[in-house]
Amino acid sequence: MGVPIKRPENDLWENIYLMELGRGLGVTMKYFFRNVIHRKDTATIRYPEVRYEVPPRTRGMHRLLHREDGSPRCVACFCCSTACPADCIHIEAAEYPESDPRSGIEKYPAAFVIDEMRCVFCGHCVEACPCDAIRMDTGLHVPPALARSELVYDKDLLMEQKGRDGSQATGNPRP
């Protein structure tokens, strides 16, 4: 068993945190009055007229890439859903029909769903994908929605998304 450690005794003045409360309010008031008096130093963007340039490395909404024939590049290996810390990716795998030359070799996602409301935009899914089937290079933020169901994106919607350069990227390597 461990040795008990004596905690220092605090008096009433330290227990009510009055000094710390005063210091916190002082910092808040300092920035408040600085911004009110020196308005020209405040960095603002007049949004509808002036648009903010999104940096090129910004992670945007997800998109699924497709092959030359229009099929998804995803092989339903579940690496992206396994790597996702928010557990927002749901995949249902299916096999190609016997008449397809890819039959027995690889699978495809019968359902590929991303819940953008749960996503933390960490990029682990993009890094985990071995076949570069998913990217976050649209440069777009998730649009506002009135219902949660509007933020659950299925495979078709994810394949319609275009990259920042306007392409749907069928075979080009990562930038």
Query: For residue 13, which phi and psi values (nearest 5 degrees)?
Result: -60, -40
Per-residue pLDDT tens over the stretch 58-79: 888 999 998 888 889 999 999 9
Burial (CB count within 10 angstroms: exposed 0-12, middle 13-18, buried 19+), residue 157: middle
Please report whether residue 172 resides in a domain: no
Please report whether residue 49 resides in a domain: no
**Which CATH number fits the domain that encloses residue 156?**
3.30.70.3270
Please report whether residue 138 resides in a domain: yes
How many domains does the structure of the chain reveal?
1
Please report whether residue 46 resides in a domain: no
3-class SS string, the chain: CCCCCCCCCCCHHHHCCHHHHHHHHHHHHHHHHHHHHCHHHCCCCCCCCCCCCCCCCCCCCCEECECCCCCECCCCCCHHHHHCCCCCEEEEEEECCCCCCCCCCCEEEEEEEEECCCCCCCCHHHHHCCCCCEECCCCCCCCCCCCHHHHEECHHHHHHCCCCCCCCCCCCCCC
Please report whether residue 105 resides in a domain: yes
Please measure the distance between the N-terminal and C-terminal CA atoms of the chain and give it in whole angstroms: 57
Please report whether residue 41 resides in a domain: no
Mean pLDDT of 151-165: 90
Per-residue pLDDT tens over the stretch 34-67: 888 877 767 777 877 888 777 878 888 999 998 8
Please report whether residue 58 resides in a domain: no
Higher pLDDT, residue 70 or 84? 84
Per-residue pLDDT tens over the stretch 3-28: 888 888 888 877 788 888 999 999 99
Please report whether residue 117 resides in a domain: yes
* Domain, as residue range, for 145: 63-160
pLDDT band at 169 (very low <50, low <70, confident <90, very high): low
